[in-house]
Every structure is written in structure tokens, then in C-alpha cells.
Amino acid sequence: MLYFDLAVIFYILSFLLLIVNFHFNKMMLQALQTVFTGVAALANIVALMLHWQDMRQLHSYSIFDLMVFVALALAIVYLLMNLKYKRPYLGLFLLPMIIIAGLVALFAASESPADNLSFAMDNLWLYLHIPLIVIGTAFFLTAFATGLMYFIMEQQLKKKKFGKIFERFPSLDMLDRINRAALYIGFGSYTAGILCAAGWVSFRVTHASLFANNPDLGASFQLKLFFAMLVWVMLGIILLLKTKRGMTARQTALASIMGFVAVLFAYAAVALFIVR
């Protein structure tokens, strides 16, 4: 996985450059950091394509594939957010998540996808389900990052500290807008992913004979779907309260952090069952 090794290295270099630029705030360093992130994302894409070519199918349901997807989705979301809002210091929170996902993928690279899932991946519903869920997760993690930044900025204002954090971070209003956009886009993508999972369950019921020799497949997938639904319900409640009751920016930021805990819980649960 040479290309993914390179991707992780460039993600780390990008993060280090961002830290340096946080202190010096030079346009050249900022541009170089963006280039490093773009190169890392391209290497990430190439690594995925070569991996799928070796497997002779698109993504598998392995921890490696899942974490590589998460790293790539987060990197793309970060680049898009930076392009739209011109706020590269979101990367102070997003890039560490990308690096952690990349390191987990590298440690899990030796693992093989579960044999009882390989034939199921030929189904279109699962081909759509995994990317949509991961994209939704990337936006939820972005909402979490902006939620943290919101509280940091709020504390800076309360203490009347107008230093580098105040100068570099987005304003509270912009953080609220990014947070809200990330939550809505993430929820939409996550909802589509769950609907695709429901389509796969329908396929399984309709073609029950195909699963006769794989009794554990249904139970394993149902557990994964259950945890995904828990995250979906929690985030749906957050958005419903925000829409109907008008949650404040501070409440939304706090809710985003709670949503992050739910996402972590769901991914930990999936990891426990993913190769069972």
C-alpha cells in the first residue's frame, strides 16, 4: 500500500505545516499546506483504486477499507470547506482525525474482509450504502470540529483574549453556519445510506436462499444497521430541535459534540462485529 503510506505521510506533513502557519500566518505556507492535503487526497484515491483492482471488486466491508474511506471523505470535506469559507485552520481539528483514520487503516491492512460478506458486496445497495454512510460521517465529524472551535472562541471572547486564536479561527457566526451546513448535509447523506441498507435487507429477504449458507451474515449486518440507526435517530432529534425550537448556536455546538460521541460509539460497535 505504497500510495496510502504516502497519503498518510502527506496528511501528517500538511498538519505540521498548518501548525507552523498558525504561528506565522504566511500565504505561501498556507498554499503549500493546501497542496500537501490535495496530494495526500489524490494518493488516497489511487490507493483505493489499486486496492479494489487487486480485490477484483469495489470496496469490501473491511476495517481497512472503512478507515481509508473515512480519511478520504474527511480530506475532501476539509478541502471543500477551505475552498468555500477560506478558513484552513479547521484542519487543526480535522487533520488529526484523518491521520488517526489513516493509521488505523495501516494497522488493519493485513486483515482480510470477512468471507461471508464477499458475495454480498456484489449487491448495488451495499455499494451505495458504505460511501453514503462514510460521507455523512465526515460531515458529522466536521460539525464536531466546528463545535469545539465554537466553544474555544467563545471562551476567548469571554476572557477578552484577542490573540492568535481570535485572529485565525472563523467568527462565531461563521462557525455556526459551517456547523449547521455540515449537520444538514451529513444527515442527508447518512439518511440515504440507511435507506440503501434497508434496500439490501429487502434484497436479502427476497433472495433468502442465497444466504442459507451464511447464517451469521444477516445477524452481523443487522447489528451494524442497528448502531447506524441509533446515530441517525440522535442526529435527527438534534436537527428537529434546531428547526422547530430554534436551538442557539451554543446548543447546536454542544449537540454536535454529543453527536460525535454517538458516531464513535457506532464505529466502535461496527469494528467489533465487522469481521465476525
Distance, in Å, from the CA atom of 104 to the CA atom of 108, rounded to the nearest integer, reads 6
Distance, in Å, from the CA atom of 186 to the CA atom of 191, rounded to the nearest integer, reads 8
Side-chain half-sphere exposure of 125, counting CA atoms within 13 A: 14
Distance of CA 119 to the CA centre of its chain: 26
Positions in the chain short of pLDDT 70: 56-61, 109-123, 203-223, 245-246, 267-276
Q: What is the pLDDT of residue 116?
A: 44
